[in-house]
Copies of this chain bind each other. A is one copy, B any other.
Amino acid sequence: MSAKLNLGLIGLGRMGRSYADYIANRIPGANLTAISDINEKSLESGSKDFGVSKCYKNYQDLAADKEIDAVVIITSTSTHKDIIIEAAKQGKAVFCEKPLTLSLAEANEIKKVIEDSGIFFHMGFMRRYDKGYAAAKRKIEEGVIGTPVVFKSSSRDPHRPSLEFLNREVSGGLFADMGIHDFDLARWLMGEVASVYSIGGILAYPEMKDTRDVDNGVSTLKFVNGTLGVVDLSRNGVYGYDIRTEILGTKGTVKIGYLRETQILVMTEAGINHDTVPYFMERFGDAYITQLSDFVEKFMEGKNPAIACNDGIAALKISLAAQLSCDENRPVALTEINSR
């Protein structure tokens, strides 16, 4: 291993390109040594834009590259399992963007591979690295709000993804695709979830009728420790990317989230107006970078990853319970998901 960690990035979609940019320019401890994408054009432009000479059409070749220390997986969810298995076979450290996978069976398979191979595996949940969420976590641990009793979280995308992606088999559905972030925060800030009840509907985009998904959903959570939670999700936050979380405790409450990008306020006869955060990279760009840096540092220092495979599985289970609950209109205990 060189003084800098040599990273191979697999997946050069829009998000993969952001990761490439961050690795190439913002993570002093890492090199963007190789990239891989099945699309040759993406590979070419990636090579040029980020100055990477090693370009692999097949991720297997990247995983086999002896120069590569660690693999960053930003491909579509359905490919995560195979790539992780291949990377584990080659003994590479792995960073995998959320969600781990969409099925519990696959998730358990991945878990076994990681445990058997002993590789370093970091599950990507960037919100934990956001300054605001990190500060809230600290405040809670310092006891500022007393004992947390209610978790509230809201995620809204500024527009819906393509109908192709919205197919529940591809995206996993609203509760897995969007909710998994909030469910991860719920576990991180409150503890394990015991049961979920969800409602949802196609309320803003009637053209979604054949996707088997909903565009708005609300889940209530009962935590094992008896505390309460609620997560609301929407594809029609048309005014901007709106992510807000609040934890109410016995001595106070802490709120995370904001809605302004540039810090200007324009006041005219039309009222008082400010802009909004357009989308997730504007909101969480720094968190993605901090997370990647932490991945690099923890691995190089021989420490445990901050977010492990089990965290990916636990959030997935809540998503699956939320979906099942919405489908069957009944509360679903997490234990039921365990046994499926």
Residues in A lying within 8 Å of B, measured CB to CB = 24-26, 28, 131-132, 134-136, 139, 144-145, 147, 149-150, 152, 154, 156, 197, 199-201, 203-204, 216-218, 220, 222, 226-230, 232, 234, 236-240, 242, 248, 250-276, 329-331
Q: Specify which of B200, B217, B226, B255 is in contact with A201 (CB 8 Å cutoff).
A: B226
Question: Roughly how many angstroms separate A258 CA and B267 CA in the complex, as a whole number?
Answer: 13
Q: A216-B149, A250-B203, A264-B139 are in contact. Are A269 and B232 (CB under 8 A)?
A: no
Could you give 21 example pairs across A and B, Cβ below 8 Å?
A149-B234, A150-B218, A150-B234, A152-B232, A218-B230, A220-B230, A228-B232, A238-B250, A238-B252, A238-B268, A239-B269, A242-B253, A254-B265, A254-B266, A254-B267, A256-B264, A259-B267, A270-B273, A272-B273, A329-B331, A330-B330
Q: Specify which of B25, B132, B250, B266 is in contact with A28 (CB 8 Å cutoff).
A: B25
CB distance from A335 to the nearest CB of B (A): 14
Number of copies: 4
Contact at A268–B228, with CB atoms within 8 Å? no
Chain B residues whose CB sits within 8 angstroms of the CB of A262 once the complex forms = 131-132, 134-135
Q: Specify which of B203, B251, B275, B330 is in contact with A331 (CB 8 Å cutoff).
A: B330
Question: Roughly how many angstroms separate A329 CA and B332 CA in the complex, as a whole number?
Answer: 10
Contact at B220–A218, with CB atoms within 8 Å? yes
Contact at B236–A248, with CB atoms within 8 Å? yes
Q: A218-B150, A220-B199, A234-B150 are in contact. Are A272 and B276 (CB under 8 A)?
A: yes
Contact at A228–B216, with CB atoms within 8 Å? yes
